[in-house]
Amino acid sequence: MSSQLPAAGATPPPDPKPTGAARSLPGTELALAELALLAADEWLLRPQLTLVWTSSAAFKQLATAFRASINAVEDTGDGLAPQSNRFAVLDKSINEKLRYLKNALANQYDEEDDGRPYYPEFGIVKEHGTWQLPKDRVERAKALQKLVAALPKHGLGQQKYGSDFWQPIATEYAALTTDHAKDKGARSLGVAGKDTLREQVETGLEALKNLLKANYPKTHKAEKRKFGFLKETY
């Protein structure tokens, strides 16, 4: 028997097609994972029950991997929440304090359209009729770097909301943007992997139910309960 699912050269049965009938397996991921683990443990105790395309040991590994993938995705998602909260704090401060910079430019270049010709040097753009830093986080991180570089060039670095205020924000925003992108990417990959494992688990469980029905034609309902199939439909 192969230790992987499916074995090389063997073709597992096709995934069950969704129909209008009631589900024959749990709909929630955690319930499905717990069922798979219970079924795998019971199957390991019955070496006489075999499938061509997988083994009880391989299914146990699959069920364990599926359960672990659920935890991994949840952990990654938990890490995104503090980042989002910090973005909200930084964005609020940026949006509130940018007006002081625009006022400083207006005072310094009052005869040049209140300093608007210099806005691009500070990363300030017009979005939805308002002059502001870009709302897109990646673009905002770039704009903050431009803003910090432009402050001393225009003699605004020593003001109350000058370099000492904007430099730490620009540095943190850049790092936060990078970390957030990495974590979102990791979560996306984790979700994709988890969904693949779920499909394999569901295929294995359906096959196992059919195997029990074939081997125990008169008592298969009782045998299914030993494997964790407590209901015919979910």
pLDDT tens across 65-80, in order?
A: 999 999 999 888 888 8
Task: State how many domains the chain has.
Answer: 1
CA–CA distances in Å: residue 90 to residues 32, 53, 105, 119: 40, 54, 22, 20
Beta bridge mates, 132: 125
pLDDT cut 70: percent of the chain above it? 89
Is 14 part of any domain?
A: no
Asked whether residue 168 is domain-assigned, the answer is yes
pTM beyond 0.75: the answer is no
pLDDT band at 2 (very low <50, low <70, confident <90, very high): very low
The answer to whether position 24 is within a domain reads no
DSSP state of 127: E
Whether 13 maps to a domain, the answer reads no
Q: Is 53 inside a domain boundary?
A: yes
In a domain, 22, yes or no: no
Q: Which residue range is the domain that position 52 belongs to?
A: 29-226
Which residues lie below 8 Å from residue 11, measured CB to CB, with a gap of 6+?
53
- Residue 135: inside a domain: yes
pLDDT, tens only, 11-65: 555 554 444 456 789 999 999 999 999 999 999 999 999 999 999 999 999 999 9
Strand, coil or helix: what is 224?
helix
Q: For position 11, what pLDDT does the model report? A: 56
Task: Output 163-169 pairs: Cβ under 8 A, ≥24 positions apart.
Answer: 165/97, 169/90, 169/93, 169/94, 169/144
Instruction: Identify which has the larger pLDDT, 93 or 16.
Output: 93
Look at residue 21 and tell me if it is in a domain: no
Please give the helix or strand (H or E) that residue 195 lies within, else none: helix 163-215
Q: State the sign of the Cα–Cα–Cα–Cα dihedral 193, 32, 36, 73.
A: positive
When pLDDT is cut at 50, 70 and 90, the band that residue 87 belongs to is very high
